[in-house]
Amino acid sequence: MNKVMRFGTWNVCTLQQAGNMNAIAEEVEKYTMDAVALQEIHWKGKGVIRKLKFTMYYSGNEDRQGNTGVGFIVSKKVNKSVLGFLPICKRICTVPCELKVNYIILYLFMCMRQLKIPRMK
């Protein structure tokens, strides 16, 4: 029998306000998601936050808060299979997981904002 795992992605625009991380976690739990990639969290630095029902892995701007940032919110079930966390930069992080027979690496890439290109005359 195959086990169903649900993965998603969500541009949250910001997690800077108090309670936003928990509100996102409640939505993830409501839709029974196992892992969700989050973009534009706008947090400074990198790290791991462990809660009772989920774990948050994040990689943000090292210089200042409020600019870019990515992360994963992972259910307790999936977190048991996480092999590590690699915050590469403010736009990329990975969470390798080993799930029974399969080996999965989750990659998250945040798109760059539109570049201003001078018009040619």
* Structural domain span for residue 37: 7-109
pLDDT at 10: 85
Which residue has tokens 């993830």? 28
Quick check: is 117 in a domain?
A: no
Quick check: is 118 in a domain?
A: no
φ, ψ at 22 (rounded to 5°): -65, -35
Q: Are strands 102-109 and 86-89 parallel, antiparallel or unpaired?
A: unpaired
φ, ψ at 58 (rounded to 5°): -145, 155
Q: What is the pLDDT along the chain (121 residues), one digit of tens a residue?
A: 347 778 888 888 888 788 888 888 888 888 888 899 998 888 889 999 999 999 999 998 888 777 788 999 999 988 998 999 999 888 889 998 887 755 556 565 555 555 444 554 5
Quick check: is 41 in a domain?
A: yes
How many structural domains are present in the chain? 1
Of 20, 67, 60, 21, the C-alpha closest to 44 is 60
Could you tell me the CATH number of the domain that includes residue 30? 3.60.10.10
pLDDT at 74: 94
Quick check: is 80 in a domain?
A: yes
Quick check: is 69 in a domain?
A: yes
Quick check: is 1 in a domain?
A: no
Quick check: is 121 in a domain?
A: no
Quick check: is 21 in a domain?
A: yes
pLDDT at 115: 43
Give pTM, 2 decimals: 0.78
